[in-house]
Chain A
Amino acid sequence: MSTTLSLCRCGGRMNKAAVGGGGGGGGPTAAAAVAAAQKQKTLLQRVDADVSNLVDNFSHLVNLARVNDPPVRNSQEAFQMEIRAARMVQAAESLRNLVSELKQTAIFSGFGSLNDNVDRQVAEFNRLEEGSERLLEKVGEQAAANLKELEAQYYSSVLRSSQGDDG
């Protein structure tokens, strides 16, 4: 259930991304929208299949837990139980792979958020650049002022005066 809900949210986000990308980049084509919807439908079907697989196999497993008279039947049921358990694990693994695919889709298809992030980074770097430029100018001005002051101090110092006296 939680997987289904999260998938719906991801699907919604994908739709939003598609729509958002459409607003920002000129709009997705109809084919792209259809493809996105088809992919969402496929993913939901996979989720449903996996979840139903889990539920069915578990119910069969519970049914097979009954103790029967013939021992041969018990052996057969034991084998069936192992099969059902393996199928359950396989369904869980399939769900995990589905979640991985969704994450990859979110990474590589979230153009809206990526663009926003890039814009934010660009603005931040421009601000840093301007700050650095101002800082450099400030440092230069301060260096020039300090140099002028030091020169004035030197030429009015005793050392310089003594050089003049000696000269």
Chain B
Amino acid sequence: MEESSRKRVAIDLDRLPIKRLNAIDEIGNEQFPPDVSNEDKRLGMLRRIDFSSIVADSIETRRNQKRTSKEAAPGPQQTWPWQGFVENLQLAHQELSVIIDLINTVEANDAVAVAGMQRPKQLPNEILSDLAVSAATKLQRLRNLGRYFKQSSKALEQRVSREARFYGSLIRLQQHWKVKRQRVSATSPGNEGFSFDLVDNTSSNTTILSHPLPNTLVHIVRETAGLLAIQRPQKSHQCISISYSASDFNSRNKKSLKRNIYKSDEILQANRKETLTDEDVNSWVKDTHSVLHEIHQSIFLQQVFDRVKHESYSPSPGIYVTGMREDFLQLAVGQDTSIYLSLVPFKKEDEFLDSMGHSQNTTNEHPHSDSSALVVINEKDMLNENNFGVPSPAGLEIYVMHIFHKNSVVRLKEKKISASRAAVAGQAAADSCGLSHFCKTIAHRIFSNKVLAEIERLVSRIPFVQLLSHPPWHSRTSSWSLSLKFPESVFHSACLSESSNNYDAKGLIRSQLHTKIVVKDDQVTVSGEGAPSTLCSFRISPNVSSVGSYGCDLDDLPLILLQQIAGRIIQWLHDEALIVGMKVRRDFLCLYFDLDQGDMLGLVARVDPDDVNGCISWWLIMEDALQDDGKFSTSTGEYKNRRFLGHLSLEALYFMLMDLVNVSTDNGFS
């Protein structure tokens, strides 16, 4: 094929680079052909090469091949749509191969060196097609750019909205919490170095705390949706629990708000929905604020517990430490009661939501199950469980927080006041704040409940005595009073008319009993009319009324109160008898009536705190019994002249007195 093409090709080469004269005009100017540039020369040379014969031959051979192929294999009637394109490419390939062969031949002959070739001038349709292709290509590229811009703008919008959510939440939370920034490299996605500093400078004091609190920094995490979440530090959900038993610590129940909280090793949840409304963001911020509040409260409680432990190190009155561990403190209050303070986690802390939102309840283990037991076990723990009258543990928890918070506020104010005045104020504050005050308060509450129980037992057995409470609004002081209202005398109006009788006026004033019982810490003070002491019992003068106060023990309190009540009744009867003109004399709990003809009748009050029928019973003794031995005998049935009257009411005593008046006027006693 190539040899045949070589034979057919006729090449016309101009070997002589001579300018041939075209014409000479009349003037004599020679007209040469215009200078042809090298490119034009090349083009001219190329155009001289006639490829038409070759192309025609190739077309004929191809047609023959087609006919033979069609005759040989009658294939499908449909032609391939790209067949023409392929044929054109094949033709172009052939032309190129011819040219290359020519070039090689010319170079090999070394006759003419082909310096270069230029692309032949394109036809208009070719130019237009090339332009169309270029335009289409450029349009495609511009469309790609458009898609790229759209994607970028969408991504930027999402990032802007995420940042708006994040920084908006951060600014809102900054109004309530201190935000810190640490310029650290982002080791984990979403961690940009922001954190909430929850340390309370007003209540913290490094010299007082036994160890610094490491959980005051709460790291902020940015979720994929731009929401602000926090990384919960360890031991950040603890509360103080107070109980009367070492095995009974009630953790507080807290609403689970776990979607805002991540543990330190937890990865960000990537399944948050991107379409968040303002309400979602608002609720998220509120939840985060609540969680921060809980953590802050937990930190405060840890500080309180640390201060409690610190104060327990130094000996103080009222503080008796019987056991101590890291998060556990046992104190003895009173004689047979112990309280246990411990830092326990919130109950809901053991439940957390996994990435799918399913709650996983882990076993709520006892906080002290796996720690070494250094506590001294109180043998009376079981008894204390059934004690009534002990303060409520929940109330004690609130009170201990109140005490130490007040203490910290006082200390803060002391810092603002001058140093000289601060010393005085600190001393005053120390008396009402601190662990000592707390322990004394508990001891007082337990003791005062016992006192109240005793008084109530007495009052329940004596119908005419009333118990009134007087809350003093001091945590270590309790006050009650017993009142006794005597019935009005028959001669009440007559007494009023005799204004010259000073005694009657005093008797009106003393128509009631007012005995006050005050308990301060563990000291009982009884104040009221009449003194139960033996010394005062010898006072015969009726004009003397002593109002004194004296301390006593819990065991002696019922007897003392009963003696006061009985003494006051005797005093009342004495006054009433004097009003009616009887000759009477009083001797402690006895009232002697002087009858005519030298007879004497005695009314004796007997007090017994353990008498379930009534603590005050009355006896009537006659003259013979007094003359026999001069002593009052409590045994009934041994003396014929003594009669047991029973537990009489005030009205009955008054009527009995009136009967005695009648008896004395009749000059007989039967």
Interface positions of A (Cβ within 8 A of B):
61, 65, 67-69, 71, 74, 77-78, 81-82, 85, 88-89, 92-93, 96, 99-100, 103-104, 106-108, 114, 117, 121, 140, 143-144, 147-148, 151, 155, 160-161, 163-164, 167
Are B137's CB and A71's CB within 8 A?
A: yes
> What are 13 A-B residue pairs whose CB atoms fall within 8 Å in the complex?
A61-B145, A67-B131, A67-B135, A69-B130, A71-B133, A88-B149, A89-B148, A92-B152, A104-B181, A106-B171, A121-B175, A164-B464, A167-B461
Contact of A92 among B156, B171, B174 (CB under 8 A): B156
Chain A residue with minimal CB distance to B459?
A155
**Considering the chains assembled together, what is the distance between the CA atoms of A117 and B173 in angstroms?**
12
- Whether A96 touches B156, Cβ cut-off 8 Å, given contacts A67-B135, A85-B145, is yes
Q: Closest CB of chain A to B477's CB: distance in Å?
A: 14
**Considering the chains assembled together, what is the distance between the CA atoms of A166 and B436 in angstroms?**
47
Contact of B138 among A74, A82, A108 (CB under 8 A): A74
B170: which A residues are within 8 A, CB to CB? Answer: 107
Are A82's CB and B152's CB within 8 A?
A: no
Q: B176 an interface residue at 8 Å Cβ cutoff?
A: yes
Are A65's CB and B466's CB within 8 A?
A: no
Q: Which of B34-42, B329-337, B468-476 contacts A (4 or more CB under 8 A)?
A: B468-476
Are B176's CB and A144's CB within 8 A?
A: no
Are A78's CB and B130's CB within 8 A?
A: no
Q: B179 an interface residue at 8 Å Cβ cutoff?
A: yes
- Whether A71 touches B134, Cβ cut-off 8 Å, given contacts A103-B167, A167-B613, A167-B649, is yes
Contact count band on B: 35 or more
Q: B614 an interface residue at 8 Å Cβ cutoff?
A: yes
**Considering the chains assembled together, what is the distance between the CA atoms of A93 and B167 in angstroms?**
17
B630-657 at interface with A (beta carbon < 8 Å):
647, 649
A161: which B residues are within 8 A, CB to CB? Answer: 463
B160: which A residues are within 8 A, CB to CB? Answer: 96, 99
Are B138's CB and A65's CB within 8 A?
A: yes
A89: which B residues are within 8 A, CB to CB? Answer: 148-149, 152, 156
A144: which B residues are within 8 A, CB to CB? Answer: 469, 471
Chain A residue with minimal CB distance to B651?
A164
Are B138's CB and A67's CB within 8 A?
A: yes
Are B468's CB and A148's CB within 8 A?
A: yes
- Whether A96 touches B159, Cβ cut-off 8 Å, given contacts A65-B138, A114-B174, is yes
Are B469's CB and A160's CB within 8 A?
A: no
**Considering the chains assembled together, what is the distance between the CA atoms of A66 and B647 in angstroms?**
124
**Considering the chains assembled together, what is the distance between the CA atoms of A104 and B460 in angstroms?**
72
Contact of B179 among A82, A96, A99, A108 (CB under 8 A): A108
- Whether A167 touches B463, Cβ cut-off 8 Å, given contacts A69-B130, A82-B145, A100-B163, is yes
Are B176's CB and A121's CB within 8 A?
A: yes
Are A108's CB and B181's CB within 8 A?
A: yes
Q: A117, A151, A160, A167 — which one has the most chain B CB atoms within 10 A of its CB?
A: A167
A74: which B residues are within 8 A, CB to CB? Answer: 134, 137-138
Q: Closest CB of chain A to B568's CB: distance in Å?
A: 18
A77: which B residues are within 8 A, CB to CB? Answer: 138
**Considering the chains assembled together, what is the distance between the CA atoms of A68 and B135 in angstroms?**
8
**Interface mask (B160-182 → A, CB under 8 Å = 1, otherwise 0):** 10010001001100111001010
Q: Closest CB of chain B to A36's CB: distance in Å?
A: 18
Chain B residue with minimal CB distance to A161?
B463
B176: which A residues are within 8 A, CB to CB? Answer: 121
Other 8 A-B pairs with CB < 8 A, given A99-B160, A107-B179: A82-B148, A85-B145, A107-B167, A117-B175, A148-B468, A155-B466, A160-B463, A163-B460
Q: Is the interface of A mostly helix, strand, loop or mixed?
A: helix
Q: B137, B170, B614, B647 — which one has the most chain A CB atoms within 10 A of its CB?
A: B137
Chain A residue with minimal CB distance to B176?
A121
**Considering the chains assembled together, what is the distance between the CA atoms of A114 and B171 in angstroms?**
10
Chain B residue with minimal CB distance to A102?
B167
Chain A residue with minimal CB distance to B148?
A85
A78: which B residues are within 8 A, CB to CB? Answer: 137-138, 141
**Considering the chains assembled together, what is the distance between the CA atoms of A106 and B461 in angstroms?**
75
A114: which B residues are within 8 A, CB to CB? Answer: 174
6 smallest CB-CB distances across A and B, nearest first, come from A164-B463, A78-B141, A89-B152, A103-B167, A155-B466, A67-B135
**Considering the chains assembled together, what is the distance between the CA atoms of A89 and B150 in angstroms?**
11
**Considering the chains assembled together, what is the distance between the CA atoms of A78 and B135 in angstroms?**
12
A68: which B residues are within 8 A, CB to CB? Answer: 134
Are A69's CB and B647's CB within 8 A?
A: no
**Considering the chains assembled together, what is the distance between the CA atoms of A88 and B146 in angstroms?**
12
**Interface mask (B136-156 → A, CB under 8 Å = 1, otherwise 0):** 011001100100110010001
- Whether A93 touches B156, Cβ cut-off 8 Å, given contacts A117-B175, A167-B647, is yes
A61: which B residues are within 8 A, CB to CB? Answer: 145
B461: which A residues are within 8 A, CB to CB? Answer: 167
Contact of A167 among B152, B159, B469, B614 (CB under 8 A): B614
Are B466's CB and A69's CB within 8 A?
A: no
Q: Closest CB of chain A to B667's CB: distance in Å?
A: 34
A167: which B residues are within 8 A, CB to CB? Answer: 461-463, 613-614, 647, 649
- Whether A147 touches B469, Cβ cut-off 8 Å, given contacts A69-B131, A71-B130, A92-B152, is yes
Q: B217 an interface residue at 8 Å Cβ cutoff?
A: no
B156: which A residues are within 8 A, CB to CB? Answer: 89, 92-93, 96
Q: Closest CB of chain B to A63's CB: distance in Å?
A: 12
Are B467's CB and A151's CB within 8 A?
A: yes
B468: which A residues are within 8 A, CB to CB? Answer: 148, 151
Are A107's CB and B473's CB within 8 A?
A: no
**Considering the chains assembled together, what is the distance between the CA atoms of A88 and B160 in angstroms?**
17
**Considering the chains assembled together, what is the distance between the CA atoms of A114 and B614 in angstroms?**
71
A85: which B residues are within 8 A, CB to CB? Answer: 145, 148-149
Are A65's CB and B152's CB within 8 A?
A: no
**Considering the chains assembled together, what is the distance between the CA atoms of A65 and B138 in angstroms?**
7
Chain A residue with minimal CB distance to B469?
A147
**Considering the chains assembled together, what is the distance between the CA atoms of A164 and B614 in angstroms?**
10
Are A151's CB and B145's CB within 8 A?
A: no
Chain B residue with minimal CB distance to A78?
B141
Q: Closest CB of chain B to A108's CB: distance in Å?
A: 6
**Considering the chains assembled together, what is the distance between the CA atoms of A81 and B614 in angstroms?**
110
Q: Closest CB of chain B to A92's CB: distance in Å?
A: 6
Are A163's CB and B471's CB within 8 A?
A: no
